[in-house]
Structure 1
């Protein structure tokens, strides 16, 4: 038969149990508080940035959480321009938008190959005024890569951007201009008939 525990041992056991319960409660509380603590630290350090998959982009079925970095005290007008060096129909779906610094925005550009041959092309962006260049952040852009369009093919590609709130306050309008030009090496050359026609239009050498 086991000997009943002495009163002092029972008190010690109760104290130990109480201490263990306190430790468990503290650990639970700390784990529960980790999420809001993490969010507060990220907001304070300015690193609470949403991933691209969480942002609102045409064709996606969910909306992004509000961006706490948006400067609602200012508005910037962004104008869009398109220049085509070659036989392209190339234009923005909208000519301008008004956004707040730090606000995510999406604009579509439309392309059409009007030639009867496959063509590859790429776009180069430019900005006005020049001091806006370093503050115009593109998160998704067709200018990042080369594109191939079949004869008569039309496509739309997005430009997803955000303007840095550090943009100088005297800048209220930004013009984003793209030049779309043909690149070689991946598509067949122009048909012989077109080359001959071009050659026939050249002035004879003297």
Structure 2
């Protein structure tokens, strides 16, 4: 099956204490977003790569591609008000039978994790990579809380993978702030989402500490 990936790069870096959004910050010789694109190209050099960028940063991205002589083929689509709208816009360009949606600031996704979600989505329609929760969990507030069975909980990563017709159908559902990712939108249709194994290095860069950890892991 032909594969596509939508890489969402809409963050503006509020928690990074940086004027430059985290996806454009250089790490190990390249901006974070370029590392992420390279990973999917490494997985499949014929994959369709669509990146969703805020309108105000499209020109910056083009300048960075020239500055770093970055020539991996990809298409650009303008982001929307919320992540939902950005993905819906990007889906208009998607041509693959299987489409993945991935965070731009997860440059250390493994090739095995990508393979896992594609294989599962090809068979079952929808798949997401997860890791088991290691820490003890409690639910409640500072005055009233209860222990939770962590074996029933999972940490969700990206890329999330879907058959294209399924994701297109899901995005006919009107926007709601309660839908936080593509899998929850597919579930809102009454469809099951299946779990696959993620990788621990697949960190989402959100804070300066995350960035330092990714720099360290890339250096290794």
Class of the TM-score when normalised by the shorter of the 2 chains = under 0.3
The structure with more strand, counted as a fraction of residues: 1
Tell me which protein shows more helix as a share of its residues: 2
Query: TM-score by structure 2 length?
Result: 0.18
- Give the greater-gyration-radius structure (CA): 1
